[in-house]
Amino acid sequence: QVQLVESGGGLVQAGGSLRLSCAASRSISEDNQLGWYRQPPGKQREFVAAITSGGITHYADSVKGRFTISGASGQNTVYLQMNSLKPEDTAVYYCKADVYVSSGRYSTVGWGQGTQVTVSS
């Protein structure tokens, strides 16, 4: 229902940085969550980071301390600043939009097409 478009992916050497952006076609809802997932080659898609409309953030242990998620007011745009990149971070990164259902539960309303991030050693 919500259209999402990612940008900012590319090729970078280990230790470098990239900033991903995700733009939504409209404001999601008053209670929402925008996040990032990634899928390394030959692996399952995994959670990376998320930010709620209230500003609460969550990170996967593998990226905590290196990645920072942020969003513009109104939650139409979300960013993922990726620092100290490692070859293990190589993956297609997807933006996802969720709406609040109940305590600790969200329902997905949109996925982006993905943007490739490649980290060389």
Helix, strand, or coil (residue 25): coil
72-to-16, 54, 97, 105 alpha-carbon distances in Å: 24, 12, 14, 23
Confidence of residue 73 (pLDDT cuts 50, 70, 90): low
Measured distance CA(77)–CA(12) in Å, rounded: 23
Task: Give the residue-averaged pLDDT of 71-95.
Answer: 91
Residue type, 2: V
Q: List CB contacts of 51: < 8 A, sequence separation 6 or more.
A: 33, 34, 35, 57, 58, 69, 70, 71, 78
pLDDT at 43: 97
